[in-house]
A and B are shown apart, each in its own frame.
Chain A
Amino acid sequence: MTAPLPRRVLVIGGSGTLGRVIVQDLLAEAASVAFTWYLSKDRADALTAAHPGLTALQLDVTVPGAVATAVNAAADALGGLDALVHCAALAITPGQSPPAGTYQKMADLTADDFALLMQVNVQSAFLAAQAAVPHMTDGGNIVLLGSVDSVKPVPSPVHYAASKAALTGLARAMAKELGRANVRVNVIAPAILEAGMSEIVPDDTVQQFLKHSGFGRRGTLKEAAAVVAWFAVHNTYVTAQTVALDGGL
């Protein structure tokens, strides 16, 4: 049987709806965990109060240099890093609420809207991985949260789908470059879940998903988090993959 792997994990975006469950699953795997949060101080405080020893770091991924600073601080706190989970993301342009029952259409998007999602969803993943790898002295796992929007043709804001698809390219290229350092890079791509970003998916899209998916139900946060935690803590040979979690869409 494989020897137990070191389990020092940083979660970028750990105060979000899915991020919190990922953090809790990692803790259940006996991992030492640090996580970043941005605006949800109450949620971050609740997590650290419930789990003594958990390291919380505030991070605005759009501030130049801030991502590397947070990663280095997490590595200092944990005594190194064995895994990085990136689940910080925007689903739509902040401040823009599309009419009820619809999603942001491409005609309404500006270049700045597009650039912001690429910055938050993709560039921060790159910057976090770039900063984390030097701390993974015995190899490790990088797990990026993608989306079924980038794996299968489903209705989606184009900048969101493009950003999640970019993670697949990022993961494949990083896997090639980092493989000899025994660092594995994968994308976990959930479809519509019970909560979190899925809450802004128009009802019509949800109904279409339920109709066409093999299971005919939404995924649970726990189901998504379990896969992320396995890839962060236990994976030794899967790399450069994008794994869809979509109940058979």
Chain B
Amino acid sequence: MASSLSDKNILVTGASRGLGRALCVGFARQGARVAFTYGRDDDGAAETLAAVEAVGTAARAFKVSVLDGPGTRKMLNELDKDWGTLDVLVNNAGVNENLPLALLDEHDWDKVLDTNLKGAFLMARAVLRLMIKRKSGVVLNIGSLAGARMLEAPIHYCASKAGLVGMTEAMAKEVGRHGIRLICLAPGLLEDGMGRNLPPHRLEAYLHHCSLGRIGRYDEVADFAAFLVSDANGFMHGETVIMDGGV
């Protein structure tokens, strides 16, 4: 398959469940060595480890917040010692709260923006310093349709995901000359994401406007992500690709 990731070392943030776990498994299936971060869910992290190991690859789990500078530096030092190189960072860690404007307090805004955008920036900055020295690497930011199209979705979440689009473009300009690729993958509703919290009538309306008439699957996103970060995809840079079934 064109998206083989043999010999690639990949770090995925926020992978104790959902899309993060699927990304780890998808990358491992393509031959990559995988490490991931998680915040609190030890049981979920253990399930992700088991899922990756089930496809025949060892994985590493780090219980560290993407906002924890010293903690992430320690993790990167460990990976550097064990792996030698980190080829791909996937900024997947994200949170959301389904709050309307009237109920959205400043601390709600800060929490979502901090995790989804500032955390991605901090992780990318830390990793890019290593990648720039090696003159190679890929950073894949997991955005959202909600950050790329006008949708009825929580304002702070949309703003954080739109921020990832801008950050991807600006970072692409700054680090492209060092042989590093930046891409943002923006999925629509997925099998167990925000769609789970939508009232039935809104999910129905969404599916009505979705060309393919269904929400996406994690494995579909993981397959695409595996191609996006592969060497075969060498000229896509600074791009945000929406994967939403045609909403």
Contacts and interface: CB of A to CB of B under 8 A. Distances in A.
A248 B243 CA distance: 20
A246 B246 contact: no
Contacts of B182: 214, 248
Contact of B236 (A1, A25, A245): A245
B241 A179 contact: no
Contacts, number: 121
**Residue of B1, B2, B172 with most partner-chain A CB within 10 A:** B2
Contacts of B236: 227, 243-245
A20 interface: no
Nearest to A30: B1
Interface stretch (B59-67, B81-89, B101-109, B216-224): B216-224
Interface residues of B, number: 39
B245 interface: yes
Contact of A237 (B177, B212, B235): B212
A241 interface: yes
**Residue of A229, A236, A245 with most partner-chain B CB within 10 A:** A236
A184 B238 contact: no
Contacts of A220: 234-235
B242 interface: yes
A238 B243 contact: yes
A216 to B, nearest CB: 6
B2 A240 contact: no
Contacts of A236: 220, 223
A229 B238 CA distance: 21
Contacts of A243: 236, 239, 241
B223 A234 contact: yes
- Determine the interface band of chain A, counting residues with CB < 8 A from chain B: 35 or more
B241 A241 contact: yes
A244 B239 contact: yes
Given A25-B2, A179-B212, A227 B172 contact: no
Interface string A223-240: 110110110001111111
Contact of B212 (A2, A216, A239): A239
A19 to B, nearest CB: 17
Given A175-B211, A179-B210, A215-B176, A240 B235 contact: no
B233 interface: yes
B194 to A, nearest CB: 16
Contacts of B243: 237-238
Interface string A131-142: 000000000000
Contact of B219 (A1, A215, A227, A244): A1
B215 to A, nearest CB: 9
Given A214-B173, A247-B176, A248-B172, A223 B233 contact: yes
Interface of A: 1-2, 25, 28-29, 175-176, 178-180, 182, 184, 190, 213-216, 219-220, 223-224, 226-227, 229-230, 234-241, 243-249
9 contacts: A2-B220, A182-B212, A215-B235, A230-B232, A234-B227, A237-B216, A239-B245, A241-B241, A247-B235
